[in-house]
Structure 1
């Protein structure tokens, strides 16, 4: 308990940081599986930023604008690549192990974004930098997964919308 004094807190912020820790673990796993040097560097930056993010939430202070800028640069890079690859609006989360982990990171990022909205009432500082940073993560992981599948010649499978029965 000495290492994690907040583990006993009944707090939405504590639950939020726990989810960010899970996200970081999957991002770390993706980092270990990644062979693309630039993507691996980006994943390491994201991994570091998620740990900084947890600390900022626990210490009750906002994310640094400089840290958010690093993530924004990464997002722009993968938005461009993903935009060139994307053929469908909705795809099934599939591919190899790396793409799968990136899709898990995407899904967790969306969950964390929703959890942050619920935890806002407990946050005693203006957390606009953190909120913007969290909302960028899902797009980054989604486009990274697209890039990985593209590099591995894995064709994306679109979601087939079933028409409503009348």
Structure 2
């Protein structure tokens, strides 16, 4: 028996919740990412005003990302350029601080930013699934979502640097260590 909508609107959390296409899953993932950014903002308080401003802007862009598969594309090259610029600013501020894999740990909001990073990667993977399912994915979406994951990582490094918290390197036993050049 297929599940169906209740006639009682109070029993329907999202208009597309019962569809079988992966579009709804994508929209829920991007909604979760936007909520996680809200959690980071709650942990920031009045600290890091430029980071706060960037995250507030990103919440709007993430909801544009959300509606860009079912509706019209809302992520443009100018949004990617803005995010690249902000990424480069933060990356320059912590240049040389991280040279490999690090453990995702630290005081708040660092773990919340790492969860945003992971969720952004899930969004990228869902975009791959949408494309595989024959659903049109504007090319700006995976570019933006990939950059978003990297942006959240650099923010973890910035916050830890500002708090004078050391990164804890992760050394894999699964893959060979890169050879010095």
Q: What's the TM-score, normalizing by structure 1?
A: 0.87
Q: Following superposition, which runs of at least 4 residues in structure 1 exceed 3 angstroms of deviation?
A: 121-126
Cross-structure match for 1:85: 97
- Unaligned segments of structure 2, at least 5 residues: 1-8, 176-181
Contact 2:127–2:137 under 8 Å retained in 1: no
**Larger CA Rg, structure 1 vs 2:** 2
Contact 2:103–2:167 under 8 Å retained in 1: yes
Q: Point out which structure has higher relative CO (alpha carbons under 8 A, 6+ apart).
A: 1
Question: How far 1:147 moved relative to its partner?
Answer: 0.6
Cross-structure match for 1:58: 70
- Unaligned segments of structure 1, at least 5 residues: none
Contact 2:30–2:123 under 8 Å retained in 1: yes
Computed over aligned residues only, the root mean square deviation of the Cα atoms, in angstroms, reads 2.1
Question: How far 1:109 moved relative to its partner?
Answer: 1.2
Cross-structure match for 2:159: 148
Query: What is the CA deviation profile of residues 49-96 of structure 1, one whole-angstrom value per residue up to 9, with x for unaligned ones?
Result: 00111122221535223322222222222232343322x300000011
Contact 1:6–1:14 under 8 Å retained in 2: yes
Please say which of residues 106-115 and 52-61 is displaced more in the overlay. 52-61
State how far apart, in whole Å, the 2-side matches of 1:149 and 1:70 are.
23
Q: What's the TM-score, normalizing by structure 2?
A: 0.80
